[in-house]
Structure 1
Amino acid sequence: MADTDRKSIHGNEAISRDRRRVIFGAAGLAAAPLASILTALPAFAHHGWAGFDTDHLIYIAGTVSSDGVWGNPHSHFDVTLDSNLPAHTPELAIPEQLQDPEDSVRVNAALSYKGPHTELEIIIAPPAWSGRWGLARALEIGERVQAVGYINRTDDGLFRPVVFWFGDDAVPVNQVLGNTLPVRAPLPE
């Protein structure tokens, strides 16, 4: 039916429909960029430290207990924790990127994990970054790992290190972009 026929039957209803189409179309166009921003937020948060309790650096130690996933955007694997952790980070080599005294003192002072889990999922930088920082291969099941980092705020079984050490030689691997901790939280008391 032509618009003129609709107008004669329904009065100005056709005009109202046309206006609604224009308004809803414009609203849809305006909402599209917002929707794309909102869908990108979880990815942004995933790549940042915001989801982790950056007020408390934690030390963990144990053995790799899964093959994990090695790739982008992050690699991850499970670690079965040692049952008797020291009170805080033992004396370990600090990567060059974290040797600023404001950072190294915090890494060395990190208190040992006291949470409920005997195994944690560890999320680290992808191979391109970890390789640049000293780990050019996947870790193997049974391999020794020590780390200092943060527990996830909503999943206390997820741990993200700022530095970790692997193997019997405790080879250090930086996990932060730049030359500083993501947050210089207060030292533990």
Structure 2
Amino acid sequence: MKRRCLVLAAAAASTAVVVPPAWSHHGWSSFDQDRPLYLEGRVVSARWQNPHAELMIEVSPDLKVPADLAKRPLPAQSAPVDGPGLLAKATVPRRNDRQWELELAPLTRMEAWKVQEIKPGTRISAVGFTSKDEKGDAVMRVEYLFVDGKAYGLRSSPA
């Protein structure tokens, strides 16, 4: 019995543990919520999993805030968000990265909004926040997502 336990312990110790790679997860405190950004582009890749869905998009080098952005209708959310104010203040990033990682909401919230899984090739636009100094990775935490003519507020659930 003792020998059997030793053999099992040795086998377990010699087995390599394989951990799949994961995209990095960023804490929310590092995002500048006083400076909303506007991005639009074509989805290059999508990860539809927790802790939140993520999109990688390719943006045009001549990205501009659309003239009608501040007038777009926004859905009501359960959290108090000044959506029209955010859209009115949105600017394009100062940095000129062609690809951006967009952090969306957890899957349960995406399901509450009835957002279908977004596939590569889809054109989307978003308003959200990046790091306070715009240094490091080109990552946006999305506040409002616009897909196929629909707007989704990702801070909270639908009201």
Q: Same fold (TM over 0.5)?
A: yes
What secondary structure sits across from 2:110 in the alignment?
helix
Q: Could you tell me which residue of structure 1 aligns to residue 109 of structure 2?
A: 129
Q: Could you tell me which residue of structure 2 aligns to residue 84 of structure 1?
A: 62
Q: Could you tell me which residue of structure 2 aligns to residue 31 of structure 1?
A: none
Instruction: Give the structure, 1 or 2, with the largest relative contact order (CA under 8 Å, sep 6 or more).
Output: 2
Q: Which runs of 4+ in 1 moved over 4 A?
A: none
How far residue 85 of structure 1 moved from its aligned partner, in angstroms, is: 2.4
Q: Could you tell me which residue of structure 1 aligns to residue 145 of structure 2?
A: 164
Q: 1:95 to 1:158 in 2, by over 3 A?
A: same
Alpha-carbon distance in structure 2 between the residues aligned to 1:87 and 1:140: 24
Q: Whose helix proportion is higher, 1 or 2?
A: 1
Percent identity (aligned) = 21
What secondary structure sits across from 1:95 in the alignment?
coil
How far residue 102 of structure 1 moved from its aligned partner, in angstroms, is: 3.9
Gaps of 5+ in 2: 1-24
1:95 equivalent to 2:66? Answer: no
Alpha-carbon distance in structure 1 between the residues aligned to 2:47 and 2:82: 33
How many residue pairs align between the two structures? 130
Alpha-carbon distance in structure 2 between the residues aligned to 1:116 and 1:56: 17
Alpha-carbon distance in structure 2 between the residues aligned to 1:88 and 1:53: 21
Letter paired with 2:39: I
Alpha-carbon distance in structure 1 between the residues aligned to 2:137 and 2:66: 19
1:50 equivalent to 2:34? Answer: no
Q: Could you tell me which residue of structure 1 aligns to residue 17 of structure 2?
A: none
Q: Could you tell me which residue of structure 2 aligns to residue 182 of structure 1?
A: none
Q: Could you tell me which residue of structure 2 aligns to residue 149 of structure 1?
A: 128
Alpha-carbon distance in structure 2 between the residues aligned to 1:75 and 1:97: 19
Larger radius of gyration: 1
- Deviation digits for residues 22-75 of structure 1 (CA, Å, limit 9, x no counterpart): xxxxxxxxxxxxxxxxxxxxx8x73xx312111210011111011x21111111
Tell me the C-alpha RMSD between the 2 structures. 2.7
Candidates 52, 59, 63, aligned match of 2:38: 59
TM-score, reference length from structure 2: 0.69
Alpha-carbon distance in structure 1 between the residues aligned to 2:41 and 2:157: 27
How far residue 178 of structure 1 moved from its aligned partner, in angstroms, is: 6.7
How far residue 104 of structure 1 moved from its aligned partner, in angstroms, is: 1.3
